[in-house]
Amino acid sequence: MLVHANSSSAGSPGDPVALATLTPTQMRVLRGVRSGLLNKQIAYDLGIAEATVKAHMTALMRKLNVRNRTQVAIAAQALAGQPIPANA
């Protein structure tokens, strides 16, 4: 029997299906990361605490099935051509 090391329900990195699972604030944080902003800058722009941005980053990494901020930025760039949900 073959067992995959990564058998989570998340898709591949940058999976367009993952875009539909993001909250509006997670989409805004994703845009900030894609623009190269620091967590502190994203927090200021969104009017939220830096700790809240960090929590959203953790959720983004899980939902996008990536392990670090650089991979989030790469996934964001891959998703840039995808339509943005109206509620974002």
Check whether 18 has a pLDDT greater than 90. no
DSSP string, 9-71: S--STT-HHHHTT--HHHHHHHHHHHTT--HHHHHHHHTS-HHHHHHHHHHHHHHHT-SSHHH
Quote the DSSP letter at residue 5: S
pLDDT over 70 for what percent of the chain? Answer: 73
Mean of the per-residue pLDDT values of the chain: 82
To the nearest 10 degrees (0 to 180), the angle between helices 24-34 and 39-46 is: 130
Res 68: pLDDT: 96
Q: pTM score, two decimals?
A: 0.74
